[in-house]
Amino acid sequence: MDIAETVRKLCWIPGVSGFEHKAAELVAEMFKPYCDKAVTDKNGNVLAYKSCGLENAKTVLLDAHLDQIGLIVTEVLENGFLRFAPVGGVDPRMLPGNEVSVLADEPIYGVISCVPPKFLKESEKNKAVPIEELYIDTGLHDAKTRIPIGAPVSFRQNPAKLMGDVYVSKCLDDRAGVASILLAMEKLKDAKNLKCDVAVLVSVQEEVTGLGAQSGVYSIRPDYAIAVDVTHGRTPDGPSEGTFQLGSGAAIGMGPNFSRDLTKKLIRTAKAHDIPYEIEVMEGNTGTNAWTIQIVAWGVACALLSIPERYMHTPIEAVSTSDIEAVSELIYRFLIGFDGEAEK
Amino acid sequence: MTELVKMLCELPGASGCEDEVRNFIRKAIEPFADEIREDAIGNLMVFRKGEKALERPVVVCAHMDEAGLIVKNITDEGMLKFGFTGNVDIRTAIGKPVRFGGTCGIIGIKAVHLTTAEERKTMPKAKELYIDIGAQSKKEAGKKISLGDYGVFDSKAVEFGGGMIKAKALDGRTGCAALIKLLGETPAIDTWFCFTVQEEAGLRGAATMAYALDPGFALVLGGTAAFDLPEVKNGEAVCRAGKGIVIPFMDDSAIYDKELFGLLRMSCDNRGLPWQTNTRVLDKTDAGSILKTREGVRTCALSVPVRYMRSPSCVASVSDIELLPEAARAFLEELGGESE
C-alpha cells in the first residue's frame, strides 16, 4: 500500500463533523479486504473486526476519528453570498480567500470573502476579521433554492508534496491516523500467530461531541484501546515544548489518560523493532478520543499514538509520511506480539 | 477569452520576474505583430498597423506582473522568510500554498490550539510569516531555494457560480488577454499594444514604455477593486461584478482625461455595452505613471470589477471580462472616427 496514495484517497472524502455517513461507507469499503467484517452504525461510525480465532481472546481496539473540522451554512443572502458558523476549532485568521465546497445535494464551489485592506478603517487593520463578518461567495443567482441552511462546508485545497516526505492536505487530522490503522491492518492480513482480537473504530464527531468514540466503544466493549490521532508539529511561531519534529516517529502519550502497562508495552515494542518514537506527556485532558474511551462502560485501558502535524485545523495540515509508517509499524508489531496481558 | 484568461492567470509573474508571462504572450502575438520591442526592464511592446494612422501613436496597455513573493532569508530550521513584491493582503496569504518554480511551499501559521484568544483576534505581521517547503535544515532548503528566488501563490483558475471566475492575478491578466484578443484583428487605427512589468511594485514599467513610445493617447486595461459584499451600502461597493465594465473618472493614481472619459462612455453607449463608473476613489493603475510622461499623455482606463483584489482568490464576472476587448475596440474605432 502506498502511504501517500492512501492518505490522498482518505483526505479526498468529505466528512465534516456530524455529516460523516457517506464517508463512513467509503472508509468501511477500504477496511473490508483486511478484516472479517466492516460495517457502519447509525451514527456514521465504521466498525471493523478481525478475530484471531482463539477462545476468550482479549480485544484490542484501534481508534482514529473520521470527522474533519469545517463550516456550516447559517443564512443564504442575496447574490449568492452565505453566512456560516464554524464546526470544530477553526482559526478565523486563515479563512479569508480560501476555497470551499458547500455540500448541498450537489457540491457547490465557493470562495470565502475578504475585505481588501483599503476598505478597512485604520483601527481594523491589525485585527482578524471575526467569522460572523465573513461570507462564502458562491457567485450563484439561485443560491436560495439550491443551498439549504445547515449544509456543511468543507475546505477544498488540493494536496501537495513538499520536500522529503512531507505531505500537505486538508483533514490529515485525523485521516493520517485512519491511514496508519489501515496500513497496520494490511500488514496484519496474513499474520499467523495473532493472539488477540482486533477491532477498528473509525469514529465520528471527535472534533465536537465525542459521540463516535462514546457510542462505538460502547458497542465493541474492548479490553484495550489504542487511539491514533495527530499531535502538534514544531513550527517557528509555536512553542518548542510539547511539539514534535516532523519525521521524529510516533508520539506515545503518557499521563492519567493512559494505562501505564499498555504504554510501556508499546515503548518496549518500539525499542525492540527500532521504530522511531518520542514520549508526549499530558498531565490532564488529552483532547483526543482516548479521553472519552477510557471511561466508557466499565472502563478501557487506553494508549495514544500520535502523528506530528504542523498547522493543525487548517487546509494545509502537514505531516511526514514516515511518521504514519512508524505508527502503523508500531501498531502491527505490538498486535502480533500481544497475548492479551499488558502487564507482562 | 475565458480559457485564455485562465491560462494567463496560472502563469507565475511576480513583479520583477515576469518572464514566463512575457514568453507566453510573445508566442501568442508574434504572428500578428508588425513590430515587437522589449525594453531594458522587460516591457513587451507590440505594434499593429490599423486601417488608418493618427498623428501620434496610440497605446493600449495592461500589466503582466502580479503581487508575488521573494525569498529574503532561510532559517536554520529550513523555513523561508520572505517579502511581498507588491501589495498582498496578508489576511489572505495565511495558510495558502505557494510555489517557486517546481518547489511547493505553504505559508504556515501555528495551530489554533496553540494560540491565545488575543492572538486569534490579531493579524500576524508580514515579518512573522514564513514558508514551509518541508526542508529540515537551512542546508536542505538551500538545495531547492536561493535568496532572491521569486514565487507566486499556487491558485488554480476556476469557473464557478453563475458565470464567475476565481484566479490569482486577475487584475493584470484580464487586460493582457484583451490585448492578445485585439492583436488578432486589424485595429481601426495604428496601435501599440503594450504589456508592462512591475505595475504592482509602483507603476514602474509603464513609465519607460510611455517614454519610449511617446503616445498621443493611452488606454489602460485591467481590474479594479469591487467591494459588492452583502450589507455594503450602495456607493461603498465602488463597483459591482457582473454589472458591466468600469470607466473610471478618477482613482488614487490619476484624474482621467475628461474628454476621453466621455468618449469611452459614448463608445459603450453607442454599441449597447453595459458600463458603470466607480463610486469611490481608490486604487492605482499604470495611468498614474503614463499621464506624467514627457509633456503629459492624455490617458483613460477600462477596468473589470474584481472582488478580493490582492488575494490569491480574486473573483470576477466572465461577462465583465469579455466586455474589456469589446469596449477597447469601440474606443479605437471612435478615436479613428473622430480624427476624420
Question: Over the stretch B127-150, which tens digit does the pLDDT of each residue have?
Answer: 889 999 999 999 999 999 999 999
Give yes or no for residue B339 having a pLDDT over 70.
no
pLDDT tier for residue B282 given thresholds of 50, 70 and 90: confident
Look at residue B126 in the predicted model and tell me its pLDDT: 84
A126 shares contact with chain B (CB less than 8 Å): yes
- Rounded to a whole number of angstroms, the distance from the CA of A143 to the nearest CA of chain B is 9
Cβ-based contacts of A77 with chain B (< 8 Å): 230
| pLDDT higher than threshold 90 for residue B90 | no
State residue B274's pLDDT score. Answer: 98
Q: pLDDT averaged over consecutive 10-residue blocks of chain A (344 residues)?
A: 94 96 97 98 97 95 98 96 95 92 96 85 84 95 96 94 96 97 96 94 96 96 98 93 96 96 97 98 94 95 98 96 98 95 74
A316 touches chain B (CB under 8 A): yes
Chain length of chain B: 340
- Annotated active-site residue in B18, B35, B51, B199: B199
Residues of B in contact with A128 (CB under 8 A): 91, 120-123
User: B229–A135: do the CB atoms touch at under 8 Å?
Assistant: yes
β-pair type (B164-167, B314-317): antiparallel
Q: Which three cell numbers stand for residue A250?
A: 510516533
Residue with cell 480574486: B314
Tell me the backbone φ, ψ of residue A221, rounded to 5 degrees: 50, 60
| Preceding omega of A174 cis (within 30 degrees of 0) | yes
Residues of A in contact with B158 (CB under 8 A): 99, 109
Task: Please give the pLDDT value at position A344.
Answer: 59
Q: Chain A within 8 Å of B266 (Cβ-Cβ)?
A: no
Mean pLDDT of B54-82: 95
If contacts are CB pairs under 8 Å, which of residues 47-86 in chain A contact chain B? 77-81
Is the separation of the CB atoms in B67 and B126 below 8 Å?
no
Contacts of B98 in chain A (CB under 8 A): none
Backbone angles phi, psi at A325, to 5 degrees: -60, -45
Smallest Cα distance from A72 to chain B, Å: 18
- pTM of the shown model: 0.91
CA distance B171 to A164: 35
Put simply, the chain B residues between 106 and 145 with a CB less than 8 A from any chain A CB are 106, 108-115, 120-124, 128, 130, 132-136, 140-141, 144
Q: Inform me whether the C-beta atom of residue B102 falls under 8 Å from chain A C-beta atoms.
A: no
**Lowest model confidence (mean pLDDT) among A116-130, B68-82, B165-179, B250-264:** A116-130
Nearest to B158 among A109, A162, A164 (CB): A109
* Lookup: cell for A321: 509520511
Taken in order B282, B287, B289, B291, is the CA torsion positive or negative?
Answer: negative
Distances (CA, A) of B158 to A1, B170, B312: 33, 12, 12
- Shortest CA distance from A119: residue in chain B: B227
d(CA A152, CA A148): 10
Contact A137 B307 (CB under 8 A): yes
pLDDT value at residue B235: 84
ipTM of the complex, rounded to two decimals: 0.89
Active site residue A206: yes
Hunting for cell 495565511 — which residue is that?
B94
Among A194-198, B9-13, B93-97, B112-116, the minimum mean pLDDT is found in B112-116
Number of residues written out for chain A = 344
Closest residue on chain B to A139 (Cα): B161
Cβ B114 vs Cβ A232: under 8 Å: yes
Residues B28-45 as b/e (b if ≥16 CB within 10 A, e otherwise) read bbeeebeeeeebeebbbb
The pLDDT of B283-306, averaged and rounded, is: 95
